Amino acid sequence: MSSTHLDKSSFTTWIKEEALTAGFLTVGITKVVTLDTETDRLKAWLDKGYNGEMHYMANHFDLRKDPRLLMDGAQSVICLSFNYHPEDDSLSTTAPKIARYAYGRDYHKVVKKKMINLLKGMQVHRPELGGRAFVDSAPVMEREWAKRAGLGWVGKNTLIIHPKKGSYFFLGVIIIDQELDYDTPISDHCGTCTRCIDACPTEAIAQEGYELNASQCISYATIELKAEKLPADFDEKMEGWAFGCDICQEVCPWNKFSTPHTEADFHPSDKLKAMTSESWAVMTQDDFDSIFFGTPVKRTGYEGMKRNIEAAGND
């Protein structure tokens, strides 16, 4: 059969099978709609100042609300997750700790390339198809679309949780200008569990869950905050984390279903694995540039990392 003869259901099936073959963990598809409720919730969150210094989150509300302003004729949102759970967890057991997602190469580049290849494959089947791929790189509410597409529910820790895959995964979306068969959301399975709320050392998660004060989050403090010194609120609460934080995922019961990823680009380098507490303490700018070249950790910069290491060791 010629690839251009695939009907809507067959094309939908092909996309999902191709995504899984390409290494994505899960895939779901939902219809483009206006995210009125979701953007209203975001505005209320911003009004509380929970974004801290992440002022960019207040920008482009119209684009966040309606993907059709990002791409003419947008009809479907293909939501994808990509596993980053490492087989070797040792970097997150001894201080200074690095969030698991940052062990290897910058996920923006790795996942975006795979998504663009998937989009190109779709255009082989349908040359007239228009689409754009986004990985945490534009005013797109990936989490809300993932929820609508059935990739998981939004947990009390505000992360997407899949009942069979856990939560150690990146999210990306491909917006296309054609209709597909659509998936449905899945129900919330957090129940009465409060482990993430109880375990957060800075009490960044609301007592009832489902809302995060990012300005109180260790991940925010170690990555987004550009101050020379971390606020006193974080004194003796870092629990060894120097870049990001995985505590609310480590305690989540659903992550017992997480399995090791198979993406070579996400493995930590030998240089990183060889770091000792002594070598962290005497790390130079050249060391930092060499060890973290091409990784998410570069984002915090050498001075920021030195600040974080000092704070992580002062618990």
Query: Is 136 assigned a catalytic role?
Result: yes
Q: What's this model's pTM, rounded to 2 decimal places?
A: 0.95
pLDDT for res 206: 98
Please state, for a pLDDT cut of 90, what percent of the chain lies above it.
90
Query: CA angle, corner 244, sides to 286 and 62, nearest 5?
Result: 110
181 vs 76: CA distance, rounded Å = 9
Q: How many CB atoms lie within 10 A of CB 52?
A: 17
Q: 7, 88, 136, 286: which is the annotated catalytic residue? A: 136
Query: CA angle, corner 157, sides to 151 and 162, nearest 5?
Result: 20
pLDDT score of 2 more than 50: no
Closest among 313, 109, 143 to 230, alpha carbons compared = 313
Contact between 69 and 91 under an 8 Å Cβ cutoff? The reply is: no
pLDDT for res 1: 36
pLDDT for res 249: 98
pLDDT for res 109: 93
Per-residue pLDDT of 257-287, as tens digits, reads 999 999 999 999 999 999 988 899 999 999 9
| Residue keyed to tokens 């709320």 | 197
305 vs 210: CA distance, rounded Å = 29
Q: Find the domain containing 32 and state its range.
A: 1-315
Per-residue pLDDT of 126-170, as tens digits, reads 999 999 999 987 899 999 999 999 999 999 999 999 999 999 999
Please state whether the peptide bond connecting residue 96 to the residue before it is cis, i.e. omega within 30 degrees of 0.
yes
Strand 241-243 versus strand 76-83 pairing type: unpaired
Greatest distance between any 2 Cα atoms in the chain: 65
pLDDT for res 129: 97
Q: Per the structure, how many domains does the chain have?
A: 1
Contact between 96 and 280 under an 8 Å Cβ cutoff? The reply is: yes
Q: What is the mean pLDDT of the chain?
A: 94
304 vs 292: CA distance, rounded Å = 13
Which of 180-189, 273-282, 290-299 is least confident?
A: 273-282
Q: Which two tokens stand for residue 61?
A: 């509300």
DSSP letters, 146-169, are HHHTTS-EE-TTSSEEBTTTBS-E
Q: Which two tokens stand for residue 17?
A: 């099978």
Per-residue pLDDT of 81-120, as tens digits, reads 999 999 988 787 787 999 999 999 999 999 999 999 999 9
pLDDT for res 4: 54
Per-residue pLDDT of 211-243, as tens digits, reads 999 999 999 999 999 999 999 999 999 999 999
pLDDT for res 134: 96
Contact between 260 and 87 under an 8 Å Cβ cutoff? The reply is: yes
| Mean pLDDT, residues 181-193 taken together | 98
Contact between 79 and 145 under an 8 Å Cβ cutoff? The reply is: yes
Closest among 80, 117, 114 to 263, alpha carbons compared = 114
282 vs 176: CA distance, rounded Å = 49
